[in-house]
Amino acid sequence: MTIEIRTATLEPVRNTYEHIKRRFGDKPASRYQEGSYDLAPENNFHYRPLWQPDKLLNDTSRTAVVMEDWYAYRDPRQFYYGTYVQARAKLQEVTESNYAFFDKRGLADRMDDEVKEKIVRCLVPLRHAELAANMNNVSCTAYGTATVLTQAFLYNGMDRLAIAQYLSRIGLLLDGNSGDCLARAKEYWTTDPAWQGMRRYVENTLTLEDWFEIYIAQDVVLDTLVYDLIYRQFDQVITEAGGSDLAMLTEFMQEWYKDNSRWVDATLKTTLAESDHNRQLVGKWVAEWREKAATDLAPLAEIAVGEDAINASLEVLNKRLAKAGL
Amino acid sequence: MSTRKLSLKDKYRILTRDLEWEYSYRDYREIFKQEAFEGIKITDWSKWEDPFRLTMDAYWKYQAEKEKKLYAIFDAFAQNNGQQNVTDARYVNAIKLFLTGVSPLEYQAYNGFAHVGRQFGGVGARVACQMQSLDELRHVQTQIHAMSHYNKFFDGFQDFTHMHDRVWYLSVPKSFFDDARSAGPFEFMVAIGFSFEYVLTNLLFVPFMSGAAYNGDMATVTFGFSAQSDEARHMTLGLEIIKFLLEQHPDNVPVVQRWINKWLWRGTRVLTLVAMMMDYMLPNKVMSWKESFEVYFEEAASALFKDLARYGIEMPRYAETAILEKEHVSHQAWSIFYNYTHAAAFHTWMPDDKEMDWLSEKYPDTFDKYYRARFEHWRELERAGERYYNPTLPMLCQTCQIPMGFTEMDNPTLTAYRQSVYQGERYNFCSDGCKDIFDHEPEKYVQAWLPVHQIFQGNCGGPDIEDVLGDYYRINLGVDNMDFHGSPDEARWNAWHNLQPAEDKLKQAS
C-alpha cells in the first residue's frame, strides 16, 4: 500500500538560472551547479589593483596556463560549501573519537620512548609544512580563476590547517599537553639537517607568483611524495616498531588524502587535455619541482624510513603523473 | 603520565599561532609582498588578539549542523511552494535587488578575504580572514540556493551574475567592492571588515532579513538566521583589525582615519538602495529607513567612535551629511528607479494611499513637503494610462556611480552638483564626500567603468537603448522591467490567489 498526499502543483516559468541553462540545458540543476558556475566576476572591472597594477582584479593571466573555458573543471566530489562542511564534519567525528580513545586508554604510554621520539622527529614537524600548504592553496583561491577551482582550493587550504592542528594534537597527546614535543618538533623543523631540504622547498613555494605552478609544486608534487612517504611508508615503520596505535591518529590524513586526490587528479587531467601548450607548461613545472623535491626530501626520507624510501615515493608520483597523461 | 589541562587561549595559541616559524631560506618580504606598500606600520604581529578562537574541527562541526538545518528548510519551502505565502508579489522585487546587487558582493568578499588571508604576515589574522572567506562563500551559495525557487516563479533573478557586471545601478555596489579589493590589504580590512561588516552591517544585512521575516519569506529569513553567528564573528574581526592597527603605531592613526572617512561615505551611498527597499518595496514595513539609521548608525556609531576616541579617531567626516540625508535618500532613490524602471530588472510602483500616509507619518518634516505631490502626480499619470518613464540617460557620479539625483541638504529642491578637473578632464560628483574621495586618488577613480558613459561610447551594444537593455544587459523587455502593475509577476500572483488584476479594478473604479 502506498499513500499519496495531494499537493497543488504550480508550473515554473524556468528550471534554473540562465547561465546554468546556457551550460547544462533547460532542466532542473543541482545545487553544485547553481552554486559553482559563472559566479566569479569577469567583465567591466572598475579599478586596477594597487597591489598589481598590470592586472585586472580577476585576471586569467595570473597563470601561464590557458583555458578556453575555465569552467571546464568539475570537482568529482561536487563540493559546494554545504556538502564540504558536512563531509568534513563526518570525518572529524570519527577522528575525534579516535583521539579521545587514544587519550582515555593512555595509549601514548604503551609506546616506547624511541618510537615516540621518532614520531616527534619525523611526523610532528609536518605541522609547519601543512601551514605552508594552507597558504599555498589559499593563494590559488585568491588569484585563481573560476569558482569550480577556487572553492576547491579553499576547501583544500582549510583542510591543511586542520591537518596542522591534528598533527599538533599528536604532539600534545605524546607529552600530556606539556608542549615539549611541539617545541622539539619545531626545533627539528628549523635546525635538523634532515628537515632543511624540505623547509627550503616549502619556503620556495611560498614565493611563487603563478597560482597554477603553486598547485603543481604543492598539491601535485610535494603532497604526493610526502603523503606516500609519511602516511604510508613511515606509518609502516612505526607499526613494525610497535607503534601501530599511531594509525588511529593519522587516519584523518589518510582518508582526507584519498578524497582530495580525486579532485587533484581531475584538475590535472582537465588542464592537460586542454592543449599542448598546457601539457608542455605543466610538464616543465612538474619536472622542475620533482627534481627539487627528490633532492630536498631525500634526507628526511632516509631518517624516517630508509635509504630507498624516496625512490619508492617518486615511483608513486611517476605512476600518478602517467595516469594523468604526463 | 598526567595530562595538563589547556585553556582555550593556550590551545588556540598552540594549534594555530605556534604553527608559524621564522623563514630563513627566503625573505619575509618575498613571502608577504603586500604588507608594506600602504604605509601602515606593523611592529609586532604577535600582539594580534584572536577575535574568535575556532579550530577547524569545531568550525566544521558547527557549520555542518547549521547547513543541515538550513537546507532542510529550503527543501520544505520548495516542496510546499512557499513563494505563494509572501505578503504580496511586490515584495519579491526586494530580493531580486538582493540577489543581483548584494549576493555578488558576498562573492567579492570571498575573493577579498582569501587575498588578505594570504597576505597578512601574522598567522592569527590570516586564519581569521580565511575563515571569513569561507563564510562568505557560504553566504553567496546559500543565497543563490534560497532564491533558486523564487527564480522558477518570478522574473528578474535569472541572469544575476551577468547583470551584476553590466547593469547601471548594479555598478554602484560592484564598484564599491572593486574599490575595496583593488586597495591594499589593510585598506580592504578597514573598508570591508570594519566599515562595512562592523559599522554598517545592521543597515544592510539586517534590513533585508527583517524584511523577509515581516513579509513571509521563509527561505530568505532562514538564511538570515543561519548566517547570524557568522556575521557576529565577522564583526569581532572588523573591530579587532581597527584596534590592532591603531595600537601598532601612532603613524597609522591618520591613515586609518582617512580610510574610515572614505569608506563610511562610500558605504552610506551604497545603502541608498537599502533605504528605498525598506521604505518602498516592503508591503509589510519593518521600520522606516530614518528610524533604522537613527538606531544603527547614529546611536551605535556614536558609541563606537566615543570608544575609539582614545586612539585619536574621530567621528567620520561626512557623518553629519549622512544624518541629514536620512530624511531624503529613500524618496530620492525611489524616484530615480521609478523614472528608469524600463531600464531595470525589477519592478517599481507608486505607493498606495495607505503607504503614502505611512511615509507622511514616518517623515513628518519632508515627505509631504517635498515628495508627496510628485508621487501623486505620477500616480495620476499612471491612472490616465500614461505611466511616466524618463527617456533620457542620467549623468552618474564619478565616485559612487549613482545618478545625480541627491539634493543639497540646506535646500532639498536643489540637486547637489560638484566638479573636479583632473588632467584637463572634468568629472562630476553627487556630494562633497564623493568629490573628496576622488580628489585624493584621482588616478584610481578616473578608471571607473561608468555605465552611461560606456553606453554612449558604444561599448554596450546598440544602437538603440532597447538593444543595450535586451542584448547587453539581458533584461527580458516587457517581462523583467517596467511597472509592477501589468507585469507577468503580478499576473501569476493573481492567478495563484484568484485575485483581480489591478487594471480591471481601475476600469471598474472609473
pLDDT digits (tens, 9 = 90+) for B422-433: 999 999 999 999
Average pLDDT, rounded, for chain A: 97
Tell which residue, B102, B171, B110, has the closest CA to residue B136: B110
Task: List, for residues B343-363, the tens digit of each pLDDT value.
Answer: 999 999 999 999 999 999 999
Task: List, for residues B127-152, the tens digit of each pLDDT value.
Answer: 999 999 999 999 999 999 999 999 99
Higher pLDDT, A241 or A326: A241
Asked whether residue A38 is domain-assigned, the answer is: no
Of A18, A141, A178, the CB nearest to B4: A178
pLDDT reading at B510 higher than 60: no
Q: Which homologous superfamily does the CATH classification assign to the domain defined by B52-509?
A: Ribonucleotide Reductase, subunit A (1.10.620.20)
Domain of A166, CATH number, reads: 1.10.620.20
- Spacing of C-alpha A165 from chain mean position: 15
Three-state SS across B373-418? HHHHHHHHHHHCCCCCCCCCCCCECCCCCCECCCECCCCCCCECCE
Which pLDDT score is estimated for B504?
67
Q: What are the DSSP calls for B338-357, one per residue? A: HHTGGGSSS------HHHHH
> In 10 A of CB B382, how many CB atoms?
17
Please state the rounded mean pLDDT for residues B192-213.
92
pLDDT reading at B159 higher than 70: yes
Which pLDDT score is estimated for B502?
62
CA distance B333 to chain A (A): 23
Contact flag A44-B1 (C-beta cutoff 8 Å): no
Which pLDDT score is estimated for A217?
98
Q: What are the DSSP calls for A116-171, one per residue? A: HHHHHHHTTTHHHHHHHHHHHHHHHHHH--SHHHHHHHHHHHHHHHHHHHHHHHHH
- Spacing of C-alpha A101 from chain mean position: 27
Residue B199 CB burial class (10 angstroms; 0-12, 13-18, ≥19):
buried
Closest alpha carbon within chain A to B63: A85
Please state the rounded mean pLDDT for residues B458-477.
94
**With contact defined as beta carbons under 8 Å apart, do A62 and A211 qualify?**
yes
pLDDT reading at B505 higher than 80: no
Q: Helix crossing, A147-174 with B8-15: angle to 10°?
A: 120
Assign B266 a pLDDT band (cuts: 50, 70, 90).
very high
Q: Helix crossing, B56-79 with A147-174: angle to 10°?
A: 140
Which residues 133-172 of B are in CB contact (within 8 Å) with A?
A: 133-134, 137-138, 140-142, 144-145, 148, 151-155, 157-162, 164-166, 171
Chain B residues in contact with A42 by the CB 8 A cut-off are 165
Q: Does B23 touch chain A (CB under 8 A)?
A: yes
Please state the rounded mean pLDDT for residues B369-376.
97
The ipTM assigned to this model is 0.97
Overall domain count for chain A: 1
Which pLDDT score is estimated for B4?
84
Three-state SS across B91-118? HHHHHHHHHHHHHHHHHHHHHHHHHHHH
Task: List, for residues B295-310, the tens digit of each pLDDT value.
Answer: 999 999 989 999 999 9
Which pLDDT score is estimated for B490?
96
Average pLDDT, rounded, for chain B: 95
> In 10 A of CB A57, how many CB atoms?
20
Q: How far, in Å, CA of B332 to CA of A39, rounded? A: 32
Please state, in angstroms and as integers, the Cα–Cα distance from residue A50 to each residue in B83, B121, B226, following that order: 44, 19, 35
Tell which residue, A136, A77, A87, A138, has the closest CA to residue A263: A77
Asked whether residue A182 is domain-assigned, the answer is: yes
pLDDT reading at B1 higher than 60: no
Assign B500 a pLDDT band (cuts: 50, 70, 90).
confident
Chain B residues in contact with A31 by the CB 8 A cut-off are 141, 145, 148
Which residues 240-269 of B are in CB contact (within 8 Å) with A?
A: none
Range of the domain at A306: 78-324
Q: How far, in Å, CA of B302 to CA of B319, rounded? A: 10
- From first CA to last CA, the distance across chain B in angstroms is 91
Which pLDDT score is estimated for B506?
59
